[in-house]
Structures are given as C-alpha cells and as structure tokens.
Structure 1
C-alpha cells in the first residue's frame, strides 16, 4: 500500500510539473501581449510617433496569431506534440528578442508579427496536451489551468514589465519576456513526457473544422466579444492618467487590479464551463457588456475606475475557458485547430478592438468612448451566440 501511494504521488507531481510548464508558456505569451499595450506611450515616445501609430505593433501581433493559428496547427498536425511545443516557443522567444533589439519602428512591427505566429498554435496544442496529461473528464479544467499562466501574467508579468519599461526603457520589458521564454523551453524539455500516446491527426482532419458552421459561429462570438475588452485595454494607460487622474507611476498598480480580476475570472469561468459551457458564455459576456457600459462613467474617477477595471478583467477571463471548450466540442476530430482558433478569435478581437478604439479617439470622442464601443461589441456577441443556438450542428 505504501508503494502504491508513493507511485501515485510521484505521478501526480509529474502531471502538475508538465501542466506548469505549459502554464509558464502562457505566462510568457500573456506578458508579451498585454505589456505592449500598457507600454504604448513609451513605445510611441521612443520612436517619435503617435499612440495610434504605435498601436500598429499590437495589431501586427494579433495578425500574426490570426495567420499562424490555423496555418501552423494544420501543417504541424503530424509533428510530435513535445517537439512542436519546443519549436513554437523557440520562435516566440526569438521574435521577442528581435523586438527588444529593434533599431527602428519598422522592425518591431515585423518582430511582433513573428511573435504572434506561434501564439495560437501553442495554446491549441497546450490545451490538448494538458487535457491528455490530466486525464478523462478534465477538459475544461485543463484549459483553465493552461490559461491560468496567461491570467497570472496580468497580475505579475505585465505590471513588472510595465515598471521595467517606465524605469529602464520599454526594451527591458521584452527582455523579461525573452527570459521567460527560455525558462519555458527548459521546463518543457525537462518535465513534459514524450506524449507518444497522444493521437496524431492530419492536415485534412484539422482543416475539416473550418467546414463546420458552429465553429465559425463560435469564432465570431469570440472575435466580437474579445474586441470589446481590447477596445478599452489597448488605451487603458492614457485613460487612467488623463481621464481618471491616476499618476503615471501608479499605472502598474492598476494593471495588477486588472490582472487580479482575470485570475478570479479564469477560476470562476473554468468552474462555470465545467458545469455548462453555454451558460458560462452567456453569463460572462452579458456581465462584460454591463461593466463596459459602466466604465464609460466610472473612468472619470480613480476610486470608481479601478473596481470596474477589475470586473472587466474578470468577465473577459471567465469567457475564455468556455469559448475554448465550446470550440473543441463542436470541432469533432479537429480539436487541436479548434483550441488554436480560440486565440485566433481573441487576437482578431484584439486588432479590431484596438482599431475601433483608436478610431473613436481620433474622431475626438475622447478616451471614454472605447468603453462604449466595447459595450456594443459585447452585446453584439450575445446576439451571435443566441443565433448559434438555433443553427443545427
């Protein structure tokens, strides 16, 4: 009996370390993605350009995810999962190194595109690997565990990167991401099993997901819904300083508040998705529509802006496990691509939200206008979600 207990304990530890390696990768990608938004004023100032122009680097990252998620996932369908995870994280790390060393603005835009290419594929593979490692019936929780790395990044990685960017220059923030990328590679190499028992699909099987109407509807729900949050978050630094009156040095603290909301939202969203995926989607996106509308008014005072910012983070993070589980459910055999497409949708929302938020700001409506746009996008995603209920599989 003692031997069995020791074996079980050892196996459990090995599983946790494997999932931790995947979550660490999520921490790195989350830090890279969100830190660039918090450092938008510093990046713009460093290259002598406007904030909306600097936002093109954010859009380039999102475009990289949109292109890379389906293409890399499909083309790598027969590559061993551990080898693929190492390759994807290597590209991500090298891309961030190029960003940190870029001498002119054109190169960071290209480098951010390269960084985005492996993002969706990594999360798609990581979600399935985590589910495989954790065992049957743990799909929603496995997805939440992998996404936990990204949400923790908003509490620790993004504020630290923001602080580094403000005090030592924005390039130091991306140097931090490079260090996390190297640590992730070491963790995957050391702790991830060979995964030879995982099912290997084919290019045609994975691309078959794109022939399913429910997959496209779920993607639209994600694209529109995530766009609401990113319309606000892309310009959150200036909103908090110029509208709410928060001192610039306290912006990292505000990012911690947002990150704590994401951590709580991810935990709650994972539990909600475990019980009912559709209910979790309705609750999270409905709540986000409400809090984004409230932020239009709440953003004028620091003591009201920060609590609502926490809720924006919570509702957006609660939405992610449910959407990824929904996509994996409706994609049949193409579950790796489905997992990757979640982040494709997220980053289309990223690019669209940043663009729409920039449009209303440039039109002279001020930095509260993106929240109004976000509330409308969240409402539109609910309409699409409701329509999907009446569409046959």
Structure 2
C-alpha cells in the first residue's frame, strides 16, 4: 500500500471519528439548553450521557459479534449510515423520551466503528508507526472537542440544539462518502468463532487493561458531564465564554492525543501511569480552581490534555495484548470507555443529588481515576512478571 493511499484511509477514518465524537461529546455543552427546552432537571438531562454510554458499553460487543463476517469496508459504511439516521431522529426530537431513544440508537455503532477503525489504521501502517496511526484516528475524537463541541455548543445556544444534531447529520453523510471512496474493499480480516474470540479475555493482562479504562477514564466524565454548568455557576462564564473554554479543553485534548501517540510507539504502560497520576491531580485541583476564571481556564486545558492522552495509550495496549481477537478486544475496550462515561456521569449526578456543591464532582472524579491508576501500576508489575517467566 502506498503512503498516499494510507493517508486517505486515515483521513476518511479521522473525519468519521470526528463526526461520531462531536455527536457524543457536544451533549455536554448543550445540556443546560436541552434541560430548559424539555423542562427537565440538569441531572435528568445527564441521563442522555449515561444512556449513550450504556448503549455503547452493552450494544457494541453484540454488534461486533453479529457483524464479524462482513467486509471491513461494508461494515464501516453501513455503521456510519445507521449513525446518520439516528442523528436525524435526534434533530427531529420533541420530547426527552424520543431524544434519549435516538441517542441510544446512535450509540450502538460507536464501539464497533471505533474498534474497526483503529484496527484498520494499525493494520495498514508500518510496524513502527502503528501507535501513531491509532493516535491519528483517535485525534479525530479530540478534534471534535476542539472544533465540534465548541461550535456545536455555540449553535445549540444560539439557534437550538436540534440544529446542532442537524449539522452532525450532514457530517455523517460526508463521512459515509469518504469511507465509500477511500477504504479498500480487500482489507484482510480473520473470522473466528465466538468461543475462540472470547478466549482472549482469559488473559489477565486484557482484563487489567479493561479495568484501567473503566476506572482511569471514569473520573473524567464525573467532572466533564457537568463542566458547562460548573463554568457558568462558579466561574461566572457566559454561554459564549463557555464555548471558548470548551475550545481550550479541546486544544488540550488534541495535543494530549498527539503526544500520547509518540509514546505509544515506545513506553506504553509507564506513559499511561504518569498520565493517570497527572489526571488525578488535575481533577482534585479543579474542585477549587473552577471558582476563578483564569485558573479554571488553565486547569481545563491540562484536564483535556491528560484525559485524552489516555485513549490512544489504552487502545494500543489492548490491540497489542489481544492479538488473537484485536477487533473484539478493541470494541470491548471502547465499551469500557463508555461504561466509564456512564458510571462517571452517574456518580457525578449522585454527588450533586446527595447535596454536595456541584464542584465536588471533580473530587469524585479524582477518586475514581486514582483507582484506575492503581490498576495501571498492577498492569505494569504483572506484565514484567510475565516477561520474566517467558524469558526463562
């Protein structure tokens, strides 16, 4: 495969992931508008995040298993078209029930698409560039936080959240076209029995990676789900200013993903441990810095950097660890990310409902992430023990 062909493969995957990422994360920026428009509370609106995340966590492995016999190109195009249809439903929603149904339907393709996209990026790249290729695809997700979420938030506040989902629909059509044009029809994939693929989860290292994902990333959404409300209530940002702060978060997340991609080619697990440690510290500090505009803006940048640096590291680790069934393992890891989102969003809402100040959700997030940090250290120790045993 030529460099030019691989470049267009990555561009098609990048834009597709950007579109799905915008749809997933923009909900945080327009949560207050949806709550007002549909006459529901902020914690109830937060269920849109929880519902989406649970849809990914539960639905994605099933979709991956049911579609494992299809060619990679047909699968990606079909998933993107289904995603586009569900966003049409979201744009036309007039009730909370209809909207959350559309969000759950949209979520069903999420994990499978991301998993297949990262595996294709890895398969079509040079061996010493696989981590960077995965990071490039993942950067589509972080660019969504740089451009998609702030612009979607601005549009949602200015002209209505339905228009935001309408624009996501248009992006879905564009992504479908790019996938049709540039993803090769002959990408190799090995169809295995369900029993054979499930066997990969007998590997303790695979289970440890999933636990790191659930807890390490769970703390992010305990805070991020309510970030717009926090910035408005405590720091006193206007709706327009919140858009700019989310843009700062997005820049941090984009740079974090690209930086992590360079380490993903070398020191994977040590880089992950350092990242989770920094994330724990940042979430703890955000509990107090959210009360000051300048400090909140700086903390949000570092928050974005550390939070999204974890994604390419964890996805590269799971693909390299589960060599017998990389697509299913990568899908389950994406499900783990979204289970983390659901748990984090729920625990953040529970913190508020328990009567604590809303800024306490950041401390809740720090505690969750600290648990993930512990599992990552154990992952490193266990991996070194296995390596010693194999060398004997």
Q: What TM-score bracket applies, with the shorter chain setting the length?
A: over 0.9
Q: Which structure 2 segments of 5+ residues have no match?
A: 387-392
Indicate yes or no: 2:75 matched with 1:94: no
Indicate yes or no: 2:378 matched with 1:368: no
Q: Which of the residues 55, 59, 74 maps onto 1:64?
A: 55
State the partner residue of 2:19: 28
Q: How far apart, CA to CA, are the structure 2 residues paired with 1:275 and 1:79?
A: 33
Q: How far apart, CA to CA, are the structure 2 residues paired with 1:184 and 1:201?
A: 29
Q: Which of the residues 212, 224, 227 maps onto 1:236?
A: 227
Q: Is the 8 A contact 2:217 2:341 kept in 1?
A: yes
Q: How far apart, CA to CA, are the structure 1 residues paired with 2:9 and 2:94?
A: 37
Q: CA deviation at 1:153?
A: 0.8
Q: How far apart, CA to CA, are the structure 2 residues paired with 1:236 and 1:376?
A: 17
Q: How far apart, CA to CA, are the structure 2 residues paired with 1:95 and 1:377?
A: 32
Correspondence list, 1:255-294, <5 A: 255-294=246-285
Q: How far apart, CA to CA, are the structure 2 residues paired with 1:208 and 1:100?
A: 41
Q: How far apart, CA to CA, are the structure 2 residues paired with 1:293 and 1:284?
A: 14
Q: Which of the residues 343, 347, 350 maps onto 1:356?
A: 347
State the partner residue of 1:164: 155
Q: Which moved more, 1:322-331 or 1:198-207?
A: 198-207
State the partner residue of 1:4: none
Q: Which of the residues 125, 135, 142 maps onto 2:126?
A: 135
Aligned length in residues: 384
Q: How far apart, CA to CA, are the structure 2 residues paired with 1:284 and 1:195?
A: 37
Q: Is the 8 A contact 2:128 2:265 kept in 1?
A: no
Q: CA deviation at 1:341?
A: 2.1
Q: How far apart, CA to CA, are the structure 1 residues paired with 2:314 and 2:323?
A: 15
State the partner residue of 1:208: 199
Q: Is the 8 A contact 2:112 2:331 kept in 1?
A: yes
Q: Which of the residues 292, 311, 314 maps onto 1:320?
A: 311
Q: Secondary structure at the match of 1:48?
A: coil
Indicate yes or no: 2:286 matched with 1:295: yes
Q: How far apart, CA to CA, are the structure 1 residues paired with 2:366 and 2:188?
A: 45
Q: CA deviation at 1:201?
A: 3.7
* 1:103 to 1:247, Cα distance in 2 relative to 1, 3 A: closer
Calculate the TM-score normalised by the size of structure 2.
0.95
Q: How far apart, CA to CA, are the structure 1 residues paired with 2:35 and 2:198?
A: 39
State the partner residue of 2:389: none
Q: Which of the residues 213, 221, 238 maps onto 2:212?
A: 221
Q: How far apart, CA to CA, are the structure 1 residues paired with 2:158 and 2:39?
A: 18
Q: Is the 8 A contact 2:269 2:380 kept in 1?
A: no
Q: How far apart, CA to CA, are the structure 1 residues paired with 2:89 and 2:231?
A: 30
State the partner residue of 1:379: 370
Indicate yes or no: 2:299 matched with 1:308: yes
Q: Which of the residues 104, 107, 113 maps onto 1:116?
A: 107
Q: How far apart, CA to CA, are the structure 2 residues paired with 1:67 and 1:248?
A: 34
Q: Is the 8 A contact 2:33 2:157 kept in 1?
A: yes
Q: Is the 8 A contact 1:290 1:375 kept in 2?
A: yes
Q: Is the 8 A contact 2:61 2:328 kept in 1?
A: yes
Q: How far apart, CA to CA, are the structure 2 residues paired with 1:342 and 1:42?
A: 32
Indicate yes or no: 2:174 matched with 1:183: yes
RMSD of Structure 2 on Structure 1 (CA): 1.4
Q: Is the 8 A contact 1:59 1:354 kept in 2?
A: yes
Q: Which moved more, 1:174-183 or 1:135-144?
A: 135-144
Q: Which moved more, 1:145-154 or 1:198-207?
A: 198-207
After superposition, what is the alpha-carbon deviation per residue over 1:156-214, rounded to whole angstroms, capped at 9, x for unaligned? 11111111100110111111111111111000001111134344444333322333222
State the partner residue of 2:40: 49
* 1:338 to 1:330, Cα distance in 2 relative to 1, 3 A: same
Q: Is the 8 A contact 1:74 1:206 kept in 2?
A: no
Q: CA deviation at 1:245?
A: 1.2
Q: CA deviation at 1:390?
A: 4.3
Q: Is the 8 A contact 2:213 2:336 kept in 1?
A: yes
State the partner residue of 1:38: 29
Q: Which structure 1 segments of 5+ residues have no match?
A: 1-7
Calculate the TM-score normalised by the size of structure 1.
0.94
